[in-house]
Chains A and B, each alone.
Chain A
Amino acid sequence: MYWLEKNQLEQLVKKLAKDYRIFGPRRDEVSGEVIFDWLENLSDLDLQASIPYNPPKFILFPHFEEILKYRYDHRSKKAVIERINLLEPKALVGIRACDLTGLLCLDRFFLGQEFVDEVYLEHRKKLFIISNTCVRPFPQCFCVCTDSGPGAKEGYDLDLTFTGEGYIVNCGSKKGQKLAEELGLKEAGPEASELRQKIIDDSISSFDRFALENKAWISRATNRLTTGFIKPEVWEYIGNQCFECGACSFVCPTCSCFNIEDVNSKTGDTYRVRTWDSCSFEGYTKMAGDHNPRKPVEDRRNKRFFCKLSYSQSKKYLRPGCVGCGRCARVCPGDIGLPNVVTYIRREITEG
């Protein structure tokens, strides 16, 4: 462990910027809201800013991405396929614990199964991750309910915890260790580790005061979702409020569904494009001949929460699919973010 003085942060980021494109939280100048973004201007980095409105998912799994290019030659009847070279290495500076947990879920989906997603892998292996402990929860947070914060447990190269004066630095990889050494950071003893734990404990105990927007006691809901004992009327009530916009999937740090489209360009090349997709859309599960296993909107809602919270699905992620960031509640036109859905499920349990 190391100490990082406040003024050394700039040094760290500048050094990192020599080899990586820097992404981190910045404030929009008009709204004052925080967005995780490519920092053209490194001084825009704001580690004290609240949890960004968007998760850093788009950096590894973009909203819209050309993943390969091909051209079909009619005379030789051959298709020439070209791999698209991906961008330079990227560093995520100041990722919150919930979002890092989300990223690890994406890893398990894209890399941890029978087929490895090469495009994701390309993004992923060139990544440098610096996590940032939430010393105080934000209004929408419920990571304590989903075991994904407020401090990061794994998956980072460096982890920062703000003490009020400087940062406690935890190294999570050789890459991270190397950077800390190169910067000549001051080594910290076991007191740093204790202090970090105390900061995290204080943060957890302050959820009652600061994190007032959402609560989601998910364990009972998980039980109910896994066994399938939720009444259809509950899903119908939720489904009626769904505007079918897809936002919950798009803002979710763990949602990984995508669509593939081949786009013919005017030059004669065809681009294969990958875009975000959502299980809330009717066309998502539609099959030939007007068959749709999940046609009514409530079936589609039901599917999403099964994916986030059921035991069988959690086995794939090695944890629940929800990381407690509260974003789905903020972007939902129908006010049926995950915390509300959990409440409706639990309400049904208590009401019998």
Chain B
Amino acid sequence: MPYLRGLCNFCGTGCGHFLRVENNRVRGVYPLPGHPLSKGRLCVRGWHIHELLQTEERITQPQIKYGDRFKRVSLEEAISFVAEKLKSISGQEIAFLGSPRASNEDNYLFGKFARAVMKSNNLSLSSDAGQEESAITLLQGAGWPAMLGSMERLRQADFILVVGGDLTKQNPIIASEIHYAHRAGAELVTISARKTQMAKLSQIHLRPEPGTASRLLEAMAKVLVDEGRIAADFISRYTEGSEKFLKYLESLSLQEIAHLTGVEIELIRTVALKMAEAESAYAFYATGIQSLDHRTMAALFNLYLLAGKLGRPDCGINPVTGISNLLGSYDMGVSPAFLPGYFSVEDKAAWKRLEEHWQIKLNPIPGKSVSACLSDDSSCRVLFVVDHDEEIIRNVKKIKELDLVVYFGAYENAFARLANVIFPLTTYVESDGTYTNCERRVQLSQKKVEPPAESRPLWEILTLMAKALGHNWTYRSAEEVMTEINRVVPQYAGITYGKLRTGWGLKWPCDEQHPSGTDSLLAEEMSRRFCFILNQDEKLAFLPRLQEKDQYPLKLVVGRSNYFWHQNSIMKKTFIPKREYNALLLLYPKGFVEISEEEARRLGLREKQQVRVVSEAAEIKLAVRISPDILPGMLYIPYFIDEMIPEFLHRQVADLEKNEEFFLPVRLEKVE
């Protein structure tokens, strides 16, 4: 077989590629030149996806665990086994952990199975906190939950601001587009405490102290007001809430913020004015595994709104998703906060609408995220999990105590060993499905190789299971599922396989008004006004903790961003990326804490020396890794060492893992 056109399934960039298929196995990959976003480029992961796709470490048989041993069974047997158990389970007793790597069709039916068949709203993804926060923030501000601008006009930009984690590692091809725009003349500014590669590529790198990025952005807004550079016409025509926001800005002192963030006023001023002067200005931040907190997102949004850099074709705030279909999973409502199409779970009319579409009575009591179901002493007894691709599994103890864990997956994974029943799934090249990248671009991935005999797409297994539970589900293909999505998810109304087969995907909203998709959010097309987001005050109390310098003088930031792919189970099924990612783990088998050169010198620490990191609540022993990328006064622990979670991070983990703006005050002690 020759090279076949397709799309990469690793991160939320959704690059185009060719896969070389030989004797039903994927033997090579090559970038696809015409793709509108990736334009013939791939990153280190994308260049090795064929290594994953031909791995021997596949789940290929339905299995049921009896005692300690798994027994191979037929698909029918496994389905009737699960269906029998589910008959006595109520909606409160079951939770559904979806996969941001699964297709829209699979995610849609997964959600429908939870809500319509099991009457459960306990439905979430594993790496969702930041994406949910981002969707909520942008819905609040713009009524539009994802990328507001377009990637296609980026190379003509005048100003680009990147806030937070390192896009060159998370979404290298997005970072590459930013880099090319910069090379073509755009001013590039990065805000991050760590000196990332993105920062090295920028003209200006602002390094606020951890936890203060939001204040820095608010200070920039204040500069615009002070210098008379706000977009007054735009604000009065298209926005509401500006009076309150301006009043809030009045209460800020630039001197105070400069002191708090460690960034000089003059630099804050320069960046703010460059942004205001730019005809075409964009901002980027990552969601999901390395996101910002709500306050920073809101501050960024307000800043761009004040400068009038939203609602135009050549401007925008662009959140970037870290996993292939993270955005699509939210579009399909795999979330405790949203129904399919971003209708709020609090919205009674939305439930009614869904009941009409699905022709079934639903349970409108909002559910919880899976991690909430597992960490509480909740009544959860059953867990459904799809393709978990992180090595770390939280709440293992609770999971072991459940009555039933059902795992659906294509690849072998530690989570499968905790399961009672395992269903083998097809990979994204073994069945049709659509995936939505961070641009809102829905792309079709077509079947290229035959799956193992017993493997099925998730939608097919769920259809059989719903039937076994007495529901009249009749889906015969992913395309049929999409025709239902067209009716239920308004943003997807006009997205058809026919259109997707012959093009480069469609950016939602794609409907009657926009039959070929929508490039960016335009103010004149909006049915409502932009809103300044004004819930700053509540978290102000958080800041004075920064001053606690005596007992716990260092700020510990726990990040997954730079090391997420290290701990990724699918990465470990490749050769070259595994080698590259493992190098670091091999050197620090028990984890490390990153510390600046200055701090190491001051404390008399050398590379790989053992230290104790002590917080108010706990302590942990780790090796020192001296890094030029860290500010003095700051420590960085990559969140990928299993034992760290129960031993050290305790209950802080929920907050800490959300984003790198949270920090823990600690001190370092030498281990004698």
**Residues in chain A within 8 A of chain B (CB atoms):** 28, 30-33, 35, 37-40, 53-54, 58, 62-65, 240-241, 243-247, 250, 259, 261, 263-266, 273, 275, 277, 281-283, 286, 290, 330-335
Contact = CB atoms under 8 A, between A and B. Distances in A.
Given A32-B34, A243-B168, A245-B172, A37 B40 contact: no
Contacts of B35: 31
Nearest to B39: A330
A333 B575 contact: no
Contacts, number: 124
Contact of B3 (A35, A259, A261, A286): A35
A109 to B, nearest CB: 20
A334 to B, nearest CB: 6
Contacts of B176: 243, 333-334
A128 B31 CA distance: 27
Nearest to B581: A283
B20 interface: yes
A286 B585 CA distance: 14
A283 B27 contact: no
B201 A53 contact: no
A39 B3 CA distance: 10
Contact of B27 (A35, A62, A263, A333): A62
Contacts of B487: none
A273 B28 CA distance: 13
B576 A281 contact: yes
29 contacts: A30-B34, A30-B504, A31-B34, A33-B34, A37-B3, A38-B1, A39-B2, A40-B2, A53-B31, A58-B20, A62-B27, A63-B20, A63-B29, A64-B27, A64-B54, A240-B201, A243-B175, A243-B197, A245-B41, A245-B47, A246-B47, A264-B56, A281-B576, A283-B580, A283-B583, A330-B33, A333-B41, A333-B172, A334-B179
Given A58-B28, A330-B33, A335 B44 contact: no
A40 B34 CA distance: 22
Contact of B576 (A65, A265, A277, A290): A277
A273 B575 contact: yes
B529 interface: no
A38 B33 CA distance: 18
Contact of A331 (B29, B31, B502, B503): B31
A265 B58 CA distance: 11
- Considering the complex of A and B, which 9 residue pairs feature the smallest CB-CB distances, nearest first? A31-B34, A333-B176, A63-B28, A283-B579, A33-B33, A37-B2, A38-B2, A245-B44, A261-B575
B43 interface: yes
Contacts of B173: 333
Nearest to B502: A30
Contacts of B582: 283
A305 to B, nearest CB: 19
Interface residues on B, range: 35 or more
Contact of B47 (A54, A58, A250, A273): A250
A31 B30 CA distance: 14
Nearest to B579: A283
B323 to A, nearest CB: 19
A40 B22 CA distance: 12
B32 interface: yes
B599 interface: no
A265 B502 CA distance: 38
A282 to B, nearest CB: 6
B47 A247 contact: yes
A329 B35 CA distance: 17
A245 B3 contact: no
Given A30-B34, A64-B28, A244-B44, A282 B580 contact: yes
Nearest to B33: A33
Contacts of A63: 20, 27-29, 50
B493 to A, nearest CB: 24
A268 to B, nearest CB: 11
Nearest to B29: A63
A53 B40 contact: yes
Nearest to B200: A240
- Secondary structure at chain A's binding surface: helix, strand, loop or mixed? loop
Given A63-B27, A265-B56, A330-B33, A335 B47 contact: no
B193 interface: no
Contacts of B16: 31
A37 B31 CA distance: 14
A286 B200 CA distance: 24
A241 B179 contact: yes
Given A62-B27, A282-B583, A241 B201 contact: yes
A37 B173 CA distance: 25
B44 A64 contact: no
Contacts of B598: none
A333 B201 CA distance: 12
A265 B33 CA distance: 34
Interface in B170-186: 172-173, 175-176, 179-180, 183
B30 A332 contact: no
Nearest to A330: B40
Given A30-B503, A263-B56, A246 B50 contact: no
A267 B503 CA distance: 41
B575 A275 contact: yes
B442 interface: no
B297 to A, nearest CB: 26
A243 B50 contact: no
Given A261-B575, A333-B175, A246 B28 contact: no
B144 interface: no
Nearest to B504: A30
A20 B408 CA distance: 44
B238 interface: no
B274 interface: no
Interface centre among A40, A65, A273, A275 (most CB of B within 10 A): A275
A333 B183 contact: no
B30 A53 contact: yes
A30 B5 contact: yes
Contact of B30 (A54, A264, A282): A54
Contacts of A246: 44, 47, 576
B587 interface: yes
Contacts of A334: 176, 179
Contacts of A277: 576
Contacts of B200: 240
B42 interface: yes
Nearest to B197: A240
